[in-house]
A and B are shown apart, each in its own frame.
Chain A
Amino acid sequence: MTDGKLIDERASLQAKTRELQRSANEIRLSAMMMTHHSGLGHTGGDLSASDILATLYLGNVLKVNPAEPDWPQRDRFVMSKGHCSGAFYSALAFRGFFPHTMLGSFMDPLSMLNGHPDRNKLPGVEANTGPLGHGLPIAVGCALAARMRGESWRTFVLTGDGELNEGSNWEAAMTAQQYGLDNLVVIVDRNRIQQGDFTDKIIRMDPMGAKWKAFGFAVVELDGHDHEALLSCFASLPLEKGKPTCIVANTIKGKGISFAENKPAWHHGVPTSDQLVQAAAELGLEVTK
C-alpha cells in the first residue's frame, strides 16, 4: 500500500469518527430532550451508551434494513439495558426505523415509545427489555438460531454493569461458552454507577474483564467513547474463533454533560429547560422543537 493510500484511509477514518461524534452527541441531546419532555428517563446511562449505539447503528456495523425491519438475515441487536430507551430510540430513529418526530411522544399516553422498548410496537426493537438480565439469554438464543439455520448474521447485546448483578446473565454466559457462540458479542457499558450508587459501593464488579474471560469469552477492554477503537474492534469480530466475544466498554455515566458526568443522581435525573440549553451548548448543538 502506498503512503498516499494510507493517508487517504486515515483521512477517511477521521471523517467517519468526526461524523460519529456528531451523531453520538445528537443521540445525547435527543435523549435528554425526551427525558425533559416526559419528566422520566435514565439520562446517565443514555449518555454513557450513546457512542456505542452511534457506532453500531450509524457506523455501518449492524447489518440491518430499516425498510424491512424483520429481514431474516439482519444482525440482531438486543438492548438489554432497556431503561436507556431515550438513547436507543434516538439511535433507531436516526438510522431510519421510524421518523425522528415520533421521539417527541416518549412515554406519552398510548405512545409507541414506552419507557422500556416493546418490539410489538416499534420497528427495530428485537426484545422487550426493562427488567434486567433478560437480554443476554435472548441474545444467546438468537445466536443459537443462526447456527442451527446455518446463517451468518450476528447477535450483539448491550448490558449495563449494574445489570450484571442479575444471575441470569451468568447462566447465559455459561451457555454461550458451552456452545462456542462466536457469532455473539456482549458489550458491557462499564460506567461504574448503578441506580443507587457507584457499583463499587454496592456490588464490586471488578475484575470485569477477568470474569468474562473465566466464563470462556474472548475479552477486549476499550474506551467506550472512542469511536475509532469501537470501529476497529467491531471490524475484527469474532475476536477468537469458537468463543463468544465480550467488549468491556469503559464509559463515563453522564458523558459529555458537565453537570451529569459521573454523578449517581443523574442515573434517572431529569434536565430542566436551562440545563437542556447548557447541555446543547456543551455538545455543540442547539435545542430543537
Chain B
Amino acid sequence: MSDALGVVGTPSHEVKLYDCRDAYSLALEAMAAADERVCALVSDSVSSTKLKSFSQKFPERFVNVGIAEQNLVGVAAGLANGGMIPFACAASCFLTARAMEQVKVDLGYSKSNVRLCGMSSGMAYGELGPTHHSIEDLAWTRIIPNLAVVVPADPAETAAAMHYSLGHKGPMFLRISRMPVRAVHAEGFEFTLGKAHTLRQGDDVTLMANGVMVSRALDAADLLAKRGIHARVLNMSSMSPMDVDAVLDAARSTRGIVTAEEALAAGGLGGAVAEILAVNHPAPMRILGVPGVFAPTGSAEFLLQHFGLTAAGIYNAALDLLGEKG
C-alpha cells in the first residue's frame, strides 16, 4: 500500500493505518478521468469529503448544492435521470437522516443510478456528540428496497467498491470511514456485491464484522487461536444484499456467530444476520454494537473501547458464546 493512500499513523508494531477517504477520493478522480458521466456533489462539505482536488480537476462535473442534504439527493437523482453517474458525498449522519425520504423515494423506489458516499460514519465524530454520530445509518439504509449498502473495511476495499459501483445498476450507499484502519485486503482486491469475504478459515466460531471492526475481528481471532479456538472471520461489507449462503454456512459449520459493527446493535449487521438465522437455521449469536443508547462524548477510539467494540470485546463475546471462561 503506497503512502499516497493516506497513511495517518504508525502504531508501535509498525502497522500502517489509513484514512479510507483518501482511497475513495483517488478512486473517484480515476473514474472521472476515465468516464465523463462521473460527477460529484457535495453539500458544502468539500474538505470533509476530501474532494478539493476533484473540484479543481473536474470543475464542470462538481456541484456544491450548499448546506441542503434533501436537495443534494434530489439533484443527484436528476443528474442520473440526465445520464450522469453522480456520487453524492456528505457526512453520513446528515446524508442519511436529513434526506431519508429522498433516499427512499428518489433513489430506492425510483431505482436511480446514484451513489451516496456517507463520510465520517459511525462514531468518527466522537467528540462532537450524538448529533454527529452516524450509528443509525445501517439500520435505516439496509431496509430500503433496491438500495445496495456497502461498508468497506480498508483502503483497498474502499477503492474496489467505488470502482465496482460504476457498473452497478441502481442506487448504492457506501459508508466511508475516516477512522484510521489497517489494511486487511491486498492491493488489487476485487469487490463483489452480495458476497462475504472470508479473511480467515475456522470451524469453532464465526466472527462477522464490517468497516472499522474487521481488523479488530481478525485480532480477536488471533487471541482465540492462542486458546486453541479456530475462528472464521468474515468481512460482511456487503450489508445489502447480504451473502445468505455465507451466513447459513457459518451457522451450520461453526458453533455460533459473533457480529461486530460500529453502529447501533439494533437493526444493523447483527439484526440482518439474526433475521436470516431465525427463519432458516437458528444458531447462538452475540451482537456487538452500541446498545440502544446515544453515545457519550469522547474520541472515536474511546467510544469503541467504551462499548467493547475491540478485539478483547469480540474475544470475550466469542468465549461467552462457546461457554468458556475468559
Contacts and interface: CB of A to CB of B under 8 A. Distances in A.
Nearest to B104: A131
B70 interface: yes
24 contacts: A76-B82, A127-B110, A128-B105, A128-B110, A129-B105, A130-B105, A131-B105, A133-B70, A134-B74, A140-B71, A141-B81, A144-B79, A144-B82, A145-B80, A146-B82, A148-B39, A148-B84, A149-B82, A149-B84, A155-B78, A172-B71, A174-B66, A175-B71, A178-B66
B3 interface: no
Interface in B70-120: 70-71, 73-84, 86, 101-102, 105-106, 109-111
Contact of B77 (A127, A143, A167): A127
Contacts of B39: 148
B163 interface: no
Given A120-B110, A144-B75, A137 B70 contact: yes
B68 A171 contact: yes
A143 B78 contact: yes
A175 B64 CA distance: 8
B43 to A, nearest CB: 9
B65 interface: yes
Contacts of A155: 78
B146 to A, nearest CB: 10
Given A141-B81, A171-B71, 19 more contacts: A78-B78, A118-B109, A127-B110, A128-B105, A131-B105, A137-B70, A140-B75, A140-B78, A141-B82, A142-B79, A143-B78, A144-B78, A145-B79, A145-B80, A145-B83, A145-B84, A168-B70, A168-B102, A175-B65
B132 interface: no
Contacts of A167: 70
A156 to B, nearest CB: 12
Contacts of B61: 148
A223 B298 CA distance: 59
Given A137-B75, A140-B74, A172-B74, A131 B82 contact: no
Interface residues of B, number: 29
A133 B73 CA distance: 12
A72 B83 contact: yes
A131 B101 contact: yes
Interface string A157-170: 00000000001100
Nearest to A157: B78
Nearest to B111: A120
B63 interface: yes
B60 interface: yes
A185 to B, nearest CB: 14
Contacts of B76: 141
Contact of B74 (A119, A120, A146, A168): A168
Contacts of A141: 74-82, 86
A103 interface: no
A187 interface: no
Interface string A64-76: 0000000010001
A24 B63 CA distance: 39
Interface of B: 39, 60-61, 63, 65-66, 68, 70-71, 73-84, 86, 101-102, 105-106, 109-111
Contacts of B60: 148
A78 B86 CA distance: 19
A70 to B, nearest CB: 10
B70 A144 contact: no
Nearest to B110: A128
B68 A175 contact: yes
A133 B99 CA distance: 12
B82 A172 contact: no
Contact of B102 (A137, A143, A179): A137
Nearest to B58: A148
Contact of B75 (A119, A120, A172): A172
A138 interface: yes
Interface in A121-137: 126-131, 133-134, 136-137
A138 B78 contact: yes
Given A128-B109, A137-B71, A171 B81 contact: no
A76 B78 CA distance: 10
A47 interface: no
Interface string A167-191: 1100110110011000000000000
A136 B70 CA distance: 11
A139 interface: yes
Given A119-B110, A120-B111, A175-B71, A142 B78 contact: yes
B42 to A, nearest CB: 12
A171 B82 contact: no
Interface string A258-281: 000000000000000000000000
A195 B186 CA distance: 58
Contacts of A76: 81-82
Contacts of A136: 74
A144 B79 CA distance: 7
Contacts of B79: 141-142, 144-145, 148
Interface in A94-137: 118-120, 126-131, 133-134, 136-137
A162 B63 CA distance: 29
